[in-house]
Chain A
Amino acid sequence: MSDQVAERIAEIIAEQALVEPDQIRPETTPEDLGLDSLALVEVVFGIEEAFDISVPYNANDPESTDFDISNFAAIVTGVKKLIADREA
């Protein structure tokens, strides 16, 4: 079975970046897609709404937050952990 969490996240990011979801690869970065900090806040919001989780992301200082948004794979890993934490 395919990875539904990754697919849904790709859809959310793709919608913000105005690309097709299949253009997003594990190593794709927000910069690759031209997503600025405002767009990233919307991506984080979309993810929170889709998975009913709270993502610890501070737009003011992204590097210092616990949530790694450096590339698509990191985001998927982080979201899966948050989903697991919620269900634990």
Chain B
Amino acid sequence: MSAAGSDRRRVVITGLGVVSALGTGRAAHFEGLREGRVGIGPIERISAERLMIKIAAEAKGFEGTDYFDRSQLALYDRVTQMALVAAAEAMAQSGLEIDEELGLRTATIIATAMGGLHTQDENYYAVYHEMKNRVHPFIIPRLMANAPVSQVSMKYGLMGPAWSVATACSSANHAIGQAMQLVRSGACDAAVTGGTESVLCFGGIKAWEGLRVMSKDGCRPFSKTRNGMVLGEGAAILVLEERERAMARGATILAEVAGTGMTADAGDIVAPKMEGAARAISLALADAGMPAEAVDYVNAHGTATAINDRTEAAALRAALGEHAESIMVSSTKSMHGHAIGAAGALEAAAVVMALTENVVPPTMGYEEPDPEIGLDVVPNAARQAPVKAALSNSFAFGGLNAVLAFRGA
């Protein structure tokens, strides 16, 4: 019998907030995904002069100074700023009122793979290049990887379990999966979860350039002409609640986080393994009690590197069988870029859009079929189609995989 027994607590999403290259706010993110708007362009927020890779999906409209005062900005790296803005939108939508009792029963699990990288970069510059012998007193509380999760918990009085998750490109999916498990198990009644990331500072981009997996001209997932990934930045925060509780207070339920599958390849530090990815997909389906045939849409990891996309297509076939050929699979990284530790959260937002609006976001930049991939990748235009169940894949460097299974409300 499926793991999703009738007596098990179910976990639903009642709030969503987003900051991405497609705009600030979930409406802007959704609109971008619906229109197939590509948020990738020339790097403008920093000087690209000495960069070899001159494109990224910057959240160009997002400036911390629009939201925070000077004393707050002294403590908030860009990743914390984006997390707080996304959290405010998610909390407002959920209508959740955190009194002391609920505060004690609410978890805060927010991923960031790289933490306050802008802060680190600026301060290395100050001490190594400008030869300064003194830095701002709050560098550590700004750059520590738990700064975003701590600031969100402080802001809303969330006193249950709280931690940050760092599993590279899978970070946010791991965070959302763990938050779901905390609520489902009864350890908590609600959770504020998601991911936040910005590696788009000079040192951050240089580090990625070094690996030589970046495209100089665009993100074209699953297309035969793909030539690498494009970095993005942003944050997405979800408010999760136990379903009965959410229904009792009359909350609008956006979707259900129905299951999660997590695996490690135990293989290579950068190259993905098909078996580990396929196992994560199968485990997520089993955890959700969801037959493969029920899945309408897969938000792919889809980084647009040669090896990821090939491996992911094979993993989908291994886990979903024949059904993989008729399923819609898209990579929204083609629009919001690869936001590393926030990727799974921005993509969960895309899944929420698909489930609530029956609009499947496209894979943009698709130029030419790759016989090694096939699949219905929803090329270049969003598609109106009923979506009742969806998966979201994240496969990280280091071989750490996390897949989430969602159901419509």
Measuring CB to CB, which residues of chain A are less than 8 angstroms from any residue of chain B? 37-38, 41, 44-45, 54, 57-61, 64
Contacts and interface: CB of A to CB of B under 8 A. Distances in A.
Contact of A64 (B52, B227, B305): B227
A61 B225 CA distance: 10
Contacts of B228: 58, 60-61
A58 B210 contact: no
Among B212, B213, B305, B306: residue with most chain A CB under 10 A: B212
A60 B52 CA distance: 16
Given A38-B270, A60-B306, A54 B52 contact: yes
Contact of A59 (B52, B211, B215, B269): B211
Given A38-B270, A54-B52, A60 B213 contact: yes
Interface in B201-253: 210-215, 227-228
Given A41-B211, A61-B228, 17 more contacts: A37-B271, A38-B270, A41-B212, A45-B210, A54-B52, A58-B212, A58-B213, A58-B227, A58-B228, A59-B213, A60-B212, A60-B214, A60-B227, A60-B228, A60-B306, A61-B306, A64-B227
Contacts of A44: 212
Interface in B244-286: 269-271
A44 B209 CA distance: 13
Nearest to A41: B212
Q: Which residue of A38, A45, A57, A60 has the most chain B CB atoms within 10 A of its CB atom? A: A60
Contacts of B210: 41, 45
A41 B208 CA distance: 12
Given A38-B269, A38-B270, A59 B227 contact: no
B24 to A, nearest CB: 31
A38 B307 CA distance: 13
A88 to B, nearest CB: 21
A40 to B, nearest CB: 9
20 contacts: A37-B271, A38-B269, A38-B270, A41-B211, A41-B212, A44-B212, A45-B210, A54-B52, A57-B212, A58-B212, A58-B213, A58-B227, A58-B228, A59-B212, A60-B213, A60-B214, A60-B306, A61-B228, A61-B306, A64-B227
B211 A61 contact: no
Interface in B174-215: 210-215
Query: By DSSP majority rule, is chain B's interface helix, strand, loop, or mixed?
Result: loop
A25 B214 CA distance: 32
A30 B131 CA distance: 42
A54 B210 CA distance: 12
Nearest to B213: A60
A41 B213 CA distance: 10
Contacts of B214: 60
A61 B227 contact: yes
Contacts of A37: 271
Contacts of A41: 210-212
A58 B212 CA distance: 5
B3 to A, nearest CB: 38
Contacts of B271: 37
A59 B307 CA distance: 10
Contacts of B306: 60-61
Contacts of A38: 269-270
Contacts of B227: 58, 60-61, 64
Contacts of B305: 60
A38 B397 CA distance: 13
Contacts of A58: 212-213, 227-228
User: Which 5 A-B pairs have CB atoms at the shortest separation, nearest pair first?
Assistant: A59-B212, A60-B228, A60-B213, A60-B305, A61-B306
A56 to B, nearest CB: 9
Interface string B27-38: 000000000000
Contacts of A54: 52
Contacts of B52: 54
Nearest to B304: A60
A60 B309 CA distance: 11
Contacts of A64: 227
A38 B211 CA distance: 8
A54 B51 CA distance: 12
Nearest to A57: B212
The residue among B210, B214, B271, B306 with the most chain A CB atoms within 10 A of its own CB is B306
